[in-house]
Protein backbone atom coordinates (compact mmCIF):
# COMPACT_ATOMS: atom_id res chain seq x y z
CA UNK A 1 0.00 0.00 0.00
CA UNK A 2 1.41 3.41 -0.95
CA UNK A 3 1.91 6.15 1.68
CA UNK A 4 -0.75 8.23 -0.06
CA UNK A 5 -3.30 5.40 0.06
CA UNK A 6 -2.51 4.70 3.70
CA UNK A 7 -2.98 8.38 4.64
CA UNK A 8 -6.28 8.44 2.81
CA UNK A 9 -7.40 5.33 4.70
CA UNK A 10 -6.52 6.93 8.06
CA UNK A 11 -8.44 10.07 7.20
CA UNK A 12 -11.48 8.02 6.21
CA UNK A 13 -11.27 5.97 9.40
CA UNK A 14 -11.11 9.08 11.58
CA UNK A 15 -14.07 10.59 9.73
CA UNK A 16 -16.10 7.38 10.06
CA UNK A 17 -15.34 7.10 13.80
CA UNK A 18 -16.44 10.68 14.36
CA UNK A 19 -19.59 10.16 12.31
CA UNK A 20 -20.53 7.03 14.24
CA UNK A 21 -19.88 8.75 17.56
CA UNK A 22 -22.23 11.56 16.65
CA UNK A 23 -24.87 9.14 15.40
CA UNK A 24 -24.84 7.25 18.69
CA UNK A 25 -25.59 10.30 20.84
CA UNK A 26 -28.98 10.05 22.48
CA UNK A 27 -31.49 12.81 21.71
CA UNK A 28 -30.88 15.95 23.71
CA UNK A 29 -27.62 14.89 25.31
CA UNK A 30 -25.41 17.64 26.64
CA UNK A 31 -21.85 16.53 26.01
CA UNK A 32 -21.82 12.74 25.91
CA UNK A 33 -24.72 11.85 28.21
CA UNK A 34 -28.10 12.90 29.52
CA UNK A 35 -28.57 14.62 32.87
CA UNK A 36 -28.77 11.86 35.50
CA UNK A 37 -31.47 12.40 38.13
CA UNK A 38 -32.19 10.27 41.20
CA UNK A 39 -35.46 10.75 43.11
CA UNK A 40 -36.85 9.39 46.36
CA UNK A 41 -40.61 9.26 45.76
CA UNK A 42 -42.81 8.59 42.76
CA UNK A 43 -44.27 12.12 42.42
CA UNK A 44 -40.75 13.53 42.14
CA UNK A 45 -39.84 10.82 39.64
CA UNK A 46 -42.84 11.62 37.46
CA UNK A 47 -42.40 15.39 37.72
CA UNK A 48 -38.71 15.09 36.80
CA UNK A 49 -39.50 12.87 33.81
CA UNK A 50 -42.01 15.43 32.57
CA UNK A 51 -39.57 18.33 32.91
CA UNK A 52 -36.47 16.52 31.68
CA UNK A 53 -38.02 14.66 28.78
CA UNK A 54 -35.44 13.14 26.43
CA UNK A 55 -32.70 15.26 28.00
CA UNK A 56 -32.70 13.37 31.28
CA UNK A 57 -32.35 9.89 32.69
CA UNK A 58 -34.51 9.72 35.83
CA UNK A 59 -34.29 6.90 38.38
CA UNK A 60 -36.49 6.13 41.38
CA UNK A 61 -34.84 4.72 44.50
CA UNK A 62 -37.96 2.85 45.58
CA UNK A 63 -38.63 -0.53 44.00
CA UNK A 64 -42.22 -1.13 42.82
CA UNK A 65 -44.37 -2.22 45.76
CA UNK A 66 -42.03 -0.83 48.44
CA UNK A 67 -43.74 1.17 51.18
CA UNK A 68 -41.75 4.43 51.38
CA UNK A 69 -42.18 5.52 55.00
CA UNK A 70 -39.88 2.82 56.32
CA UNK A 71 -37.35 3.08 53.45
CA UNK A 72 -33.69 3.01 54.41
CA UNK A 73 -31.11 3.43 51.62
CA UNK A 74 -28.82 0.52 50.79
CA UNK A 75 -25.22 0.92 49.57
CA UNK A 76 -26.43 0.64 45.96
CA UNK A 77 -28.88 3.51 46.57
CA UNK A 78 -26.13 5.68 48.02
CA UNK A 79 -23.91 4.93 45.02
CA UNK A 80 -26.76 5.91 42.69
CA UNK A 81 -27.15 9.24 44.49
CA UNK A 82 -23.39 9.83 44.41
CA UNK A 83 -23.23 9.16 40.66
CA UNK A 84 -26.14 11.48 39.84
CA UNK A 85 -26.13 15.05 38.56
CA UNK A 86 -29.31 15.95 40.47
CA UNK A 87 -30.80 14.38 43.59
CA UNK A 88 -34.46 15.19 44.35
CA UNK A 89 -36.20 14.66 47.67
CA UNK A 90 -39.15 16.17 49.55
CA UNK A 91 -37.60 17.33 52.80
CA UNK A 92 -36.50 16.06 56.20
CA UNK A 93 -40.00 15.20 57.41
CA UNK A 94 -40.49 12.64 54.64
CA UNK A 95 -36.90 11.48 54.19
CA UNK A 96 -35.05 12.07 57.49
CA UNK A 97 -32.19 9.84 56.30
CA UNK A 98 -31.10 12.24 53.57
CA UNK A 99 -28.85 14.51 55.69
CA UNK A 100 -26.75 11.61 56.95
CA UNK A 101 -26.40 10.13 53.45
CA UNK A 102 -25.35 13.43 51.90
CA UNK A 103 -22.63 13.92 54.52
CA UNK A 104 -20.87 10.86 53.13
CA UNK A 105 -21.04 11.89 49.45
CA UNK A 106 -18.06 13.70 47.98
CA UNK A 107 -19.44 14.34 44.48
CA UNK A 108 -18.99 18.09 44.14
CA UNK A 109 -21.07 18.27 40.96
CA UNK A 110 -24.14 16.74 42.62
CA UNK A 111 -27.01 19.23 42.84
CA UNK A 112 -29.33 18.49 45.77
CA UNK A 113 -32.86 19.81 45.34
CA UNK A 114 -35.37 19.88 48.19
CA UNK A 115 -38.67 19.93 46.30
CA UNK A 116 -40.54 21.15 49.38
CA UNK A 117 -38.66 24.47 49.34
CA UNK A 118 -41.06 27.40 49.62
CA UNK A 119 -44.02 25.23 50.67
CA UNK A 120 -45.24 25.72 54.26
CA UNK A 121 -45.86 22.32 55.83
CA UNK A 122 -49.28 21.99 57.42
CA UNK A 123 -49.59 21.13 61.06
CA UNK A 124 -52.04 18.41 62.01
CA UNK A 125 -54.35 21.07 63.43
CA UNK A 126 -54.30 22.88 60.08
CA UNK A 127 -55.30 19.70 58.26
CA UNK A 128 -58.15 18.71 60.52
CA UNK A 129 -61.59 18.31 58.99
CA UNK A 130 -63.68 21.40 58.51
CA UNK A 131 -66.29 21.85 61.16
CA UNK A 132 -64.30 19.82 63.68
CA UNK A 133 -65.25 16.38 62.38
CA UNK A 134 -63.07 13.73 63.98
CA UNK A 135 -60.54 16.05 65.60
CA UNK A 136 -59.39 13.39 68.04
CA UNK A 137 -58.56 11.06 65.16
CA UNK A 138 -56.00 13.28 63.43
CA UNK A 139 -53.67 14.42 66.19
CA UNK A 140 -50.31 12.77 66.65
CA UNK A 141 -46.78 12.40 65.37
CA UNK A 142 -45.38 11.53 61.98
CA UNK A 143 -43.35 8.37 61.37
CA UNK A 144 -40.13 9.82 62.84
CA UNK A 145 -41.61 11.72 65.76
CA UNK A 146 -42.05 15.15 64.17
CA UNK A 147 -45.22 16.33 65.83
CA UNK A 148 -47.87 17.72 63.56
CA UNK A 149 -45.89 18.16 60.32
CA UNK A 150 -47.54 16.69 57.24
CA UNK A 151 -45.04 15.88 54.44
CA UNK A 152 -47.60 14.77 51.79
CA UNK A 153 -47.42 18.13 50.02
CA UNK A 154 -47.89 16.87 46.44
CA UNK A 155 -51.55 15.99 47.12
CA UNK A 156 -52.36 19.70 46.92
CA UNK A 157 -52.00 20.49 43.22
CA UNK A 158 -50.94 24.05 44.03
CA UNK A 159 -48.02 22.59 45.96
CA UNK A 160 -47.37 20.16 43.11
CA UNK A 161 -46.96 23.13 40.75
CA UNK A 162 -44.41 24.71 43.12
CA UNK A 163 -42.55 21.39 43.22
CA UNK A 164 -42.43 21.20 39.43
CA UNK A 165 -41.04 24.74 39.24
CA UNK A 166 -38.41 23.92 41.86
CA UNK A 167 -37.40 20.84 39.87
CA UNK A 168 -37.30 23.00 36.72
CA UNK A 169 -34.89 25.41 38.44
CA UNK A 170 -32.66 22.47 39.31
CA UNK A 171 -32.55 21.31 35.69
CA UNK A 172 -31.85 24.78 34.33
CA UNK A 173 -29.05 25.38 36.84
CA UNK A 174 -27.42 22.05 35.94
CA UNK A 175 -27.93 22.28 32.18
CA UNK A 176 -28.57 25.94 31.19
CA UNK A 177 -27.94 25.25 27.50
CA UNK A 178 -31.22 23.31 27.36
CA UNK A 179 -33.11 25.61 29.68
CA UNK A 180 -35.73 26.63 27.15
CA UNK A 181 -36.69 23.00 26.50
CA UNK A 182 -37.03 22.34 30.22
CA UNK A 183 -39.21 25.43 30.62
CA UNK A 184 -41.53 24.37 27.80
CA UNK A 185 -41.84 20.86 29.23
CA UNK A 186 -42.62 22.23 32.68
CA UNK A 187 -45.30 24.61 31.41
CA UNK A 188 -47.02 21.81 29.51
CA UNK A 189 -47.10 19.65 32.61
CA UNK A 190 -48.26 22.49 34.86
CA UNK A 191 -51.13 23.20 32.46
CA UNK A 192 -52.19 19.55 32.84
CA UNK A 193 -52.07 19.88 36.64
CA UNK A 194 -54.19 23.03 36.48
CA UNK A 195 -56.81 21.38 34.27
CA UNK A 196 -57.06 18.45 36.65
CA UNK A 197 -57.31 20.82 39.62
CA UNK A 198 -60.26 22.59 38.00
CA UNK A 199 -61.92 19.25 37.33
CA UNK A 200 -61.49 18.22 40.98
CA UNK A 201 -63.13 21.48 42.08
CA UNK A 202 -66.03 21.14 39.66
CA UNK A 203 -66.75 17.49 40.51
CA UNK A 204 -66.27 17.67 44.28
CA UNK A 205 -68.42 20.80 44.55
CA UNK A 206 -71.42 18.62 43.59
CA UNK A 207 -70.91 15.98 46.29
CA UNK A 208 -73.67 15.24 48.80
CA UNK A 209 -71.12 14.05 51.35
CA UNK A 210 -68.27 16.29 52.44
CA UNK A 211 -66.10 14.09 54.68
CA UNK A 212 -63.38 11.64 53.63
CA UNK A 213 -63.12 8.74 56.08
CA UNK A 214 -59.80 7.01 55.62
CA UNK A 215 -58.78 3.69 57.11
CA UNK A 216 -55.06 4.44 56.77
CA UNK A 217 -52.45 6.93 57.99
CA UNK A 218 -52.86 10.68 57.87
CA UNK A 219 -51.99 11.39 54.22
CA UNK A 220 -54.82 13.35 52.59
CA UNK A 221 -55.06 16.49 54.71
CA UNK A 222 -53.77 18.71 51.91
CA UNK A 223 -56.20 17.29 49.37
CA UNK A 224 -59.16 17.66 51.73
CA UNK A 225 -58.28 21.21 52.67
CA UNK A 226 -57.83 22.31 49.05
CA UNK A 227 -61.36 21.25 48.14
CA UNK A 228 -63.13 22.16 51.36
CA UNK A 229 -63.68 18.60 52.58
CA UNK A 230 -63.55 17.07 56.03
CA UNK A 231 -60.96 14.39 56.62
CA UNK A 232 -60.70 11.69 59.28
CA UNK A 233 -57.97 9.04 59.35
CA UNK A 234 -57.88 5.95 61.53
CA UNK A 235 -54.14 6.16 62.27
CA UNK A 236 -52.94 8.88 64.61
CA UNK A 237 -50.09 10.38 62.67
CA UNK A 238 -48.28 9.95 59.38
CA UNK A 239 -46.93 6.42 59.72
CA UNK A 240 -48.72 3.47 58.08
CA UNK A 241 -46.97 1.28 60.66
CA UNK A 242 -48.92 2.80 63.52
CA UNK A 243 -51.90 0.98 65.00
CA UNK A 244 -55.13 2.75 65.89
CA UNK A 245 -56.55 2.15 69.32
CA UNK A 246 -60.02 0.65 69.84
CA UNK A 247 -61.19 4.16 70.72
CA UNK A 248 -59.92 5.44 67.36
CA UNK A 249 -61.89 2.76 65.52
CA UNK A 250 -65.01 3.57 67.54
CA UNK A 251 -64.58 7.23 66.57
CA UNK A 252 -64.38 6.30 62.88
CA UNK A 253 -67.49 4.13 63.13
CA UNK A 254 -69.39 6.95 64.83
CA UNK A 255 -68.32 9.41 62.13
CA UNK A 256 -69.54 7.08 59.37
CA UNK A 257 -72.86 6.62 61.14
CA UNK A 258 -73.29 10.26 62.06
CA UNK A 259 -72.84 11.51 58.51
CA UNK A 260 -74.45 8.46 56.89
CA UNK A 261 -71.32 7.74 54.91
CA UNK A 262 -71.31 4.54 52.91
CA UNK A 263 -67.65 4.41 51.85
CA UNK A 264 -64.32 4.18 53.62
CA UNK A 265 -61.09 4.80 51.75
CA UNK A 266 -58.00 2.59 51.81
CA UNK A 267 -54.48 3.39 50.62
CA UNK A 268 -51.93 1.80 48.34
CA UNK A 269 -49.27 -0.65 49.54
CA UNK A 270 -50.76 -0.96 53.04
CA UNK A 271 -52.79 -3.92 54.26
CA UNK A 272 -56.36 -2.63 54.70
CA UNK A 273 -57.09 -4.68 57.82
CA UNK A 274 -58.28 -1.69 59.88
CA UNK A 275 -60.54 -0.45 57.09
CA UNK A 276 -61.90 -3.97 56.60
CA UNK A 277 -62.76 -4.19 60.31
CA UNK A 278 -64.63 -0.89 60.10
CA UNK A 279 -66.31 -1.98 56.87
CA UNK A 280 -67.65 -5.13 58.52
CA UNK A 281 -69.00 -3.05 61.39
CA UNK A 282 -70.72 -0.45 59.21
CA UNK A 283 -71.24 -2.15 55.82
CA UNK A 284 -69.28 0.69 54.23
CA UNK A 285 -67.63 -0.23 50.93
CA UNK A 286 -63.87 0.07 50.42
CA UNK A 287 -62.48 2.46 47.82
CA UNK A 288 -58.83 3.17 46.99
CA UNK A 289 -57.42 6.65 47.56
CA UNK A 290 -53.86 6.71 46.23
CA UNK A 291 -51.32 8.96 47.93
CA UNK A 292 -48.82 8.26 45.10
CA UNK A 293 -45.78 7.72 47.34
CA UNK A 294 -44.90 4.73 45.18
CA UNK A 295 -46.46 2.32 42.68
CA UNK A 296 -47.38 -1.30 42.96
CA UNK A 297 -45.67 -3.66 40.52
CA UNK A 298 -48.77 -3.82 38.32
CA UNK A 299 -49.10 -0.01 38.28
CA UNK A 300 -45.44 0.32 37.35
CA UNK A 301 -45.76 -2.21 34.54
CA UNK A 302 -48.93 -0.44 33.38
CA UNK A 303 -47.04 2.87 33.08
CA UNK A 304 -49.19 4.67 35.64
CA UNK A 305 -48.45 8.37 36.07
CA UNK A 306 -49.09 10.84 38.85
CA UNK A 307 -51.90 12.35 36.79
CA UNK A 308 -53.52 8.98 36.07
CA UNK A 309 -53.39 8.08 39.78
CA UNK A 310 -55.07 11.37 40.66
CA UNK A 311 -57.72 10.86 37.98
CA UNK A 312 -58.54 7.50 39.52
CA UNK A 313 -58.69 9.18 42.94
CA UNK A 314 -61.28 11.58 41.60
CA UNK A 315 -63.36 8.71 40.22
CA UNK A 316 -63.38 7.04 43.64
CA UNK A 317 -64.00 10.28 45.52
CA UNK A 318 -66.94 11.05 43.23
CA UNK A 319 -68.38 7.62 43.96
CA UNK A 320 -67.66 7.58 47.68
CA UNK A 321 -68.86 11.12 48.38
CA UNK A 322 -71.95 10.70 46.20
CA UNK A 323 -71.19 13.47 43.74
CA UNK A 324 -73.78 14.50 41.15
CA UNK A 325 -71.10 14.35 38.45
CA UNK A 326 -70.05 10.83 37.53
CA UNK A 327 -66.37 11.27 36.71
CA UNK A 328 -65.40 8.54 34.24
CA UNK A 329 -62.34 9.89 32.43
Domains annotated on the chain, with CATH:
24-131+149-192 (3.40.50.1980), 206-320 (3.40.50.1980)
User: What is the structure's pLDDT at 20?
Assistant: 36
* Residue with more model confidence, 80 or 23: 80
Nearest to 108 by CA among 174, 202, 196, 40: 174
* Rounded Cα gap, residues 203 and 314, in angstroms: 8
52 neighbors 33 (Cβ within 8 angstroms): no
Tell me what pLDDT residue 306 has: 98
pLDDT for residue 87 is more than 50: yes
Task: Assess contact for 314 and 226: CB atoms under 8 A.
Answer: no
**What is the pLDDT, as a whole number, of residue 244?**
80
Secondary structure element (H or E) that encloses residue 38, with its range = strand 35-39
How much is the pLDDT for 33?
77
pLDDT at 216: 86
Within 10 angstroms of residue 136's Cβ, the number of other Cβ atoms is 12
Is the confidence at residue 28, as pLDDT, over 60? no
Contact 215, 255 (CB under 8 A): no
* Band of residue 22 on the pLDDT scale cut at 50, 70, 90: very low
What pLDDT is stored for residue 241 in this prediction? 60
Contacts (Cβ under 8 Å, ≥6 apart) of 51: 164, 167, 168, 171, 182, 185, 186, 189
* Structure confidence at residue 133 as a pLDDT band (50, 70, 90): very low
Give the SS3 label for residue 227: coil
B/e letters for 277-297, b = 16+ CB within 10 Å, e = fewer, are: bbbeebebebbebbbbbbbee
pTM score, whole prediction = 0.83
Instruction: Give CA–CA dist 74/67, Å, rounded.
Output: 15
Phi-psi region of 304 (alpha: psi -120 to 50; beta: other; left: phi over 0): beta
Amino acid sequence: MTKRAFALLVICAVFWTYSCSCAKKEPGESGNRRVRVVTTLFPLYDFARAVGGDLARVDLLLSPGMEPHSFEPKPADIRAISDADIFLYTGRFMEPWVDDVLKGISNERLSVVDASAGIPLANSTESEPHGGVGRDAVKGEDHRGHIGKDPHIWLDFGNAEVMVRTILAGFVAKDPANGETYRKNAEIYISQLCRLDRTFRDVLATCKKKTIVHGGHFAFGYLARRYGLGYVSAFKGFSPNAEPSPQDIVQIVKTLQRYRLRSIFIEELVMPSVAETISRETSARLLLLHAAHNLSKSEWEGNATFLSLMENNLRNLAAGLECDVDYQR
